[in-house]
Amino acid sequence: MTSLSTDVLTLTHVAITLIAIASGLVILAQMLKSGMSSGWTGIFLATTLLTSVTGFVFFQPPGPPTPAQLTGVVALLALVPTLYGLYVKHLAGAWRMTYVIGAVFSLYLNVFVLVVQLFQKVPALQPLAGNPPGGPVFGAAQGLVLIAFICAGWLAAKRFRPLIAVPVTP
């Protein structure tokens, strides 16, 4: 039994986030094979953008920014060069690496927040990490996620060389 809210806004935000994570894992797997699907990539980038934006809709009391809001700002800032490198620069030159790093980092942030939410919302995990999550079990889980993404990102950066049509200017 989870303690997930059932209001429409929260459920929509969660659904968008889960689609972003699932499609992000697909594009990461494609990058590791030096492939790229514009459909999956578009879904990932659009839902990642939406999950960050919809996260700001939740009511927060006045005061300093929350960790969730700061994560949302970082996620949006990471998407700017990622989108620019893909859709404006068409992965030319250093923009290929910019895209890979930005896409993998964006996916990592989504998974990072997923782990936080799992430790907050799944009652079986709450005794292991508390609320808000912390401690060695939570740290180990987040550490493993970070290590996995660093390794996957490094491999993707080395392997990702898609064959895409770069527009030619006459």
Predicted local confidence at residue 147, as pLDDT: 98
Predicted local confidence at residue 51, as pLDDT: 94
- Determine if the peptide bond prior to 132 is cis (ω within 30°): yes
**Nearest CA among 154, 169, 23, 161 for reference residue 91:** 161
Average predicted confidence (pLDDT) for the chain:
88
Instruction: Give burial (CB, 10 Å; 0-12/13-18/19+) of 38.
Output: exposed
Distance CA 43, CA 130 (A): 34
Predicted local confidence at residue 62, as pLDDT: 78
Predicted local confidence at residue 1, as pLDDT: 44
Is-contact 133 119, C-beta < 8 A?
A: yes
Predicted local confidence at residue 10, as pLDDT: 85
pLDDT per residue over 14-34, tens digit each?
999 999 999 999 999 999 999
Distance CA 80, CA 148 (A): 24
Identify which has the larger pLDDT, 101 or 127. Answer: 101
Q: Which amino acid is at 32?
A: L
pLDDT per residue over 121-153, tens digit each?
888 877 776 667 778 888 899 999 999 999 999
Distances (CA, A) of 120 to 48, 55, 113, 124, 147: 21, 16, 10, 10, 22
Q: Is the pLDDT of residue 168 over 50?
A: no
pTM, 2 dp: 0.88
Least confident window among 3-7, 39-43, 156-160, 163-167: 163-167
- SS3 (DSSP) at 105: helix
Q: Is the pLDDT of residue 96 over 70?
A: yes
Distance CA 23, CA 162 (A): 18
Q: Is the pLDDT of residue 165 over 60?
A: no
Predicted local confidence at residue 164, as pLDDT: 60
